[in-house]
Structure 1
């Protein structure tokens, strides 16, 4: 890399070189001092592997990245995007650095390195400072389908899924979050390079109340929240919706939103509540039996009288 010959030899010093070319005019002989030495790439062709961490010295700082010398004669290139997570180039010529080998082809004298991959990951540092269960603030930058992306720090993004917006069945993400707005979130953990977030975890889980307060077979009086072709949704006082399937409704019964109805719990587990009205229908269809055999006539009594006649 150093093209100044005076850095390799002194005047009047005797050198062993390899003749490369003799011009016809004979004025100069082209010789190589480098080719008299062992090819440094031969030294590293078996030792350098992808993923390996090496140390070296910065020998050049450019707009597209850094050049790092691993050993004399073996240099690697660090692309700008692989220098740091912040994207800043703070290194200068002569600095010692550690780097991870991304690609190596000794026959082509090609070595691609990454400095940032040897550094602590920002999202992991963030989680150390804000462990699962912590309450943090973030800015919603983008909403895509059933999830939103949240800026937590300059180099840390979070993600929140629709299922973590509400304990009840959530609607669209836009009903809870707006792009450009800041909100409080609960830290749930990591999802790849993203910090996983939640909104519902900041509030008490209503399912715990429901499961401790009610049991299968209980009769409750509730308001109709929504009517659908497959049945109606009824809302418990705790804010949990349960389904009254059309198959569990008496024939001919039509319910409307806001109407109160008495139902029986026939299925109860976290995330699912099912009601039935059929218990009432069966009660109405029951035949009232005589209180005593002394009252009225039995079919046997009638037949015996006819035989006598």
Structure 2
């Protein structure tokens, strides 16, 4: 508790809010964006679902993020893994997605294939290699040919 004494105005103020730790400071590290947690679906509306995270915290998911790998939607009472997609300490809101937990496992294979009609160069998967002894021999032979013609 904090005790404030204002002698001039003859006031005594006692407060405790200043000393309480904001639990959302801790939740921010536990439920960081990208982390995966086991959640139970508590309820569903026509647009959103309410989920129970560990420690009894509630989170939310849009219905499209309840899609399972087999194409069905998760139902009330099911317990599944969910990935944190958004954390807002100010709004005290945690947004989650079950779909992202399985979609991202399949994405690395898709990223390696260039899209049809795409003129963009795919990212190199191997680092650029330096010159080798074979390259130096080929360059030396080329130099000799060029000097012989001059």
Task: Give the TM-score normalised by the residue count of structure 2.
Answer: 0.50
Are the aligned partners of 1:267 and 1:274 in contact in 2 as well (CA < 8 Å)?
A: yes
Q: 1:249-277 CA deviation, whole Å, 9 max, x = no partner?
A: 225313113x2111111111211210012
Distance 1:286 1:129 in 2: 62
The aligned counterpart of 2:30 is 213
1:263 equivalent in structure 2? 82
TM-score in terms of structure 1 length = 0.27
**Can you give the 5+ residue segments of structure 2 that lack an aligned partner in the other structure?**
1-8, 111-150
- 1:240 equivalent to 2:123? Answer no
Report the counterpart of residue 44 of structure 2 in structure 1. Answer: 227
After the TM superposition, list the runs of 4 or more consecutive aligned residues in structure 1 that deviate by more than 6 angstroms.
284-289
Which of the pair has the greater relative contact order for Cα pairs under 8 Å at 6+ separation?
2
Of 103, 112, 123 in structure 2, the residue corresponding to residue 282 of structure 1 is 103
Relative distance call for 1:202 and 1:255 in structure 2 (3 A) is: farther
**Paired residue total:** 97
Shift of 1:130: 2.6
Query: How many Å separate the matches in 1 of 2:94 and 2:66?
Result: 15
Question: Which residue, 243, 249, 272 being the options, matches 2:93?
Answer: 272
Does 1:129 find its partner at 2:8? Answer: no
- Of 59, 72, 77 in structure 2, the residue corresponding to residue 252 of structure 1 is 72
Task: Give the structure with the higher percent strand.
Answer: 1
Maintained 8 Å contact 2:84/2:94: yes
CA contact (8 A) 1:217 1:264 kept: yes
SS in 2 for 1:238: helix
Partner of 1:18: none
- Root-mean-square deviation (CA, aligned residues, Å) is 3.3
Q: Within 5 A, what are the aligned runs for 1:104-183?
A: 128-131=11-14, 133-134=15-16
Instruction: Work out whether residues 209 and 238 of structure 1, in 8 Å CA contact, stay in contact via their aligned partners in 2.
Output: no
CA offsets per residue over residues 68-88 of structure 1, 9 Å max, x none?
A: xxxxxxxxxxxxxxxxxxxxx
Distance 1:206 1:287, change over 3 A: closer
CA distance in 1, matches of 2:25, 2:46: 30
SS at match of 1:217: coil
More helix by share: 2
